[in-house]
């Protein structure tokens, strides 16, 4: 079993907890109260800006074989994901520019930026977001919400292209060969932050 496969196995219970979280359940049904999703959009918008910084910090340390991947991920996050947030925010009245980080967002971004000081460890720390959203999107797309705005969110993370990006991070973790115990600890901590992030402030 590769390191990435081991991370999938240990992360599955926390992924199941996300699937059972009221915020995720509401997105999946398309009936999440709009103020909750509006607040989530604002927090995730701030998170994604720091996520781009994490990719950039890792790119500075990356071996040549990984540099292009990290630059592409930073670009896709900054443009595609943030554009999705801007589009959805227009329909939910989210104040992206006036938003301020809540405790969960601040704790998660601090963890990621600190973890990115070490290349292999940083990849393991950021993997929960990529793998988690790709897996959530795929599962929710099996019975997608009829409400078009929530459907757009599900479709984005269920996209095979996003799954390919998440899969590439898994390959890069294996290629970077982090200490398995260290990688697992960082991954599990990241998964815990992912779960806490759904508790919208």
3 state SS of 164? helix
Selection from 130, 115, 106, 118 nearest residue 191 by Cα: 130
Length of the chain: 201
Question: What is the C-alpha to C-alpha distance for residues 201 and 197, in angstroms, rounded to an integer?
Answer: 9
Question: What is the C-alpha to C-alpha distance for residues 61 and 118, in angstroms, rounded to an integer?
Answer: 8
Question: What is the C-alpha to C-alpha distance for residues 154 and 93, in angstroms, rounded to an integer?
Answer: 19
Selection from 103, 114, 121, 122 nearest residue 193 by Cα: 103
3-state helix, strand, coil in the chain (%, to 5): 80, 0, 20
pLDDT, position 85: 86
pLDDT tens, N- to C-terminus, the chain (201 residues): 899 999 999 999 999 999 999 999 999 999 999 999 999 999 999 999 999 999 999 999 999 999 999 999 999 899 988 998 899 889 899 999 999 999 999 999 999 999 999 999 999 999 999 999 999 999 999 999 999 999 999 999 999 999 999 999 999 999 999 999 999 999 999 999 999 999 987
Q: Tell if the pTM clears 0.75, that is, is over it.
A: yes
pLDDT, position 200: 86
Question: What is the C-alpha to C-alpha distance for residues 189 and 107, in angstroms, rounded to an integer?
Answer: 11
Selection from 78, 77, 55, 52 nearest residue 68 by Cα: 55
Question: What is the C-alpha to C-alpha distance for residues 44 and 171, in angstroms, rounded to an integer?
Answer: 26
pLDDT, position 102: 97
pLDDT, position 84: 84
pLDDT, position 147: 96
């Amino acid at each position: 079993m590769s390191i990435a496969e081991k991370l999938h196995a240990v992360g599955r219970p926390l992924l199941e907890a996300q699937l059972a979280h009221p915020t995720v359940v509401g997105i999946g049904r398309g009936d999440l109260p709009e103020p909750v999703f509006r607040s989530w959009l604002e927090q995730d918008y701030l998170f994604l800006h720091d996520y781009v910084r994490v990719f950039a910090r890792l790119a500075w340390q990356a071996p040549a074989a990984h540099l292009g991947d990290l630059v592409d991920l930073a670009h896709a996050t900054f443009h595609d994901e943030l554009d999705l947030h801007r589009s959805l925010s227009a329909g939910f009245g989210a104040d992206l520019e006036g938003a301020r980080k809540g405790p969960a967002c601040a704790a998660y971004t601090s963890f990621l930026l600190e973890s990115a000081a070490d290349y292999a460890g940083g990849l393991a720390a950021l993997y929960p977001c990529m793998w988690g959203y790709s897996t959530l999107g795929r599962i929710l797309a099996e019975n997608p919400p009829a409400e078009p705005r929530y459907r757009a969110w599900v479709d984005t993370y269920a996209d095979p292209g996003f799954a390919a990006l998440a899969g590439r991070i898994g390959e890069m973790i294996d290629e970077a060969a982090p200490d398995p115990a260290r990688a697992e600890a960082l991954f599990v901590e990241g998964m815990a932050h992912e779960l806490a992030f759904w508790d919208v402030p």
